[in-house]
Amino acid sequence: MLSSKQKQYHINVSEGDVGKYCILPGDPGRCEKIAAHLENPYFVSQNREYTIWNGTLLGETVTVCSTGIGGPSTAIAVEELAACGATHMIRVGTCGGISTDVCSGDIIIASGAVRQDGTSHEYAPPEFPAVSGTNFLIALIDAAKALKLPYHAGVVQSKDSFYGQHSPSRMPIATELNNKWRAWKRLGVLASEMEASTLFTVGATLGLECGAVFLCVWNQERYAAGLDTDDSEEHDTERAITTAIDAIKLLIQRENG
């Protein structure tokens, strides 16, 4: 890790360039949209998959930094933002439903994540749970309730292969993938995504407060059960963004007394 005074190798910022609170979308294209919810938003930098904007909420600097897709690039963003002074990070993104209780357009708040990724295992042994920070979890639930949004709070699955989920039967390890998917369903896992387990585990390693909120785009299990049509998809992430913004406001208010 570089000194906080140096520009970080990947995100290209240094101490003083980012806020204590960070919002982490995967898609660089969502950064400006999220930053529009902040007061006085402005562009900071762009390098590789990392686009950064800043603004303020209730007088606190809030940073929006994209992470790209998956655990490795997420871990880099978390490490380098933390080196620059960030202490609170919330992942905002999309997911696919697993539980048939989850519908397209619902908000998913991750209390924990199945560590079916590779990156987190270079930080902690497999027995260590990837869990949300309690303060962020409570704030996200309170925000979703206040916004009167349909939401679910619980465990999500984080995987490394998008197509390992969507086309498991063509993979050489199809039996293993399908058996695990059935296990997640039986265990009540809400949805599948690609970054939360890394964020939670790296965050625990660095002593950060972390949370995650997602929009459910589509639920393949509801479709397979005949509960949804194939076009029951929702791609507007505004609900998840608003939930995250309001949760950060609640955290700022609660932490500042």
Look-up of token digits 């390890």: 173
Q: What predicted TM-score, i.e. pTM, was given to this entire model?
A: 0.96
The CA distance from 205 to 203, in Å, is: 5
Give me the amino acid identity at 119: T
The CA distance from 105 to 94, in Å, is: 10
Report yes or no on 14 lying in a domain: no
Report yes or no on 220 lying in a domain: yes
**pLDDT computed for residue 57 by the predictor:** 98
Report yes or no on 10 lying in a domain: no
5-42 pLDDT per residue, tens: 689 999 999 999 999 999 999 999 999 999 999 999 99
Report yes or no on 176 lying in a domain: yes
3-class secondary-structure state, position 252: helix
28 close to 49: Cβ distance less than 8 angstroms: yes
State the residue range of the domain holding 77: 21-255
Report yes or no on 200 lying in a domain: yes
**pLDDT computed for residue 257 by the predictor:** 77
For residue 209, the domain's CATH number is: 3.40.50.1580
Return all residues near 70 (Cβ < 8 A) that are at least 6 apart.
117, 119, 160, 194, 195, 198
54-74 pLDDT per residue, tens: 999 999 999 999 999 999 999
129 close to 257: Cβ distance less than 8 angstroms: no
Domain total of the chain: 1
The CA distance from 223 to 213, in Å, is: 23
Q: Mean pLDDT for the chain?
A: 96
**pLDDT computed for residue 5 by the predictor:** 67
pLDDT tens-place values along the chain, 257 residues long: 555 568 999 999 999 999 999 999 999 999 999 999 999 999 999 999 999 999 999 999 999 999 999 999 999 999 999 999 999 999 999 999 999 999 999 999 999 999 999 999 999 999 999 999 999 999 999 999 999 999 999 999 999 999 999 999 999 999 999 999 999 999 999 999 999 999 999 999 999 999 999 999 999 999 999 999 988 999 999 999 999 999 999 999 999 87
Report yes or no on 8 lying in a domain: no
Report yes or no on 5 lying in a domain: no
Report yes or no on 7 lying in a domain: no
Look-up of token digits 């909120």: 213
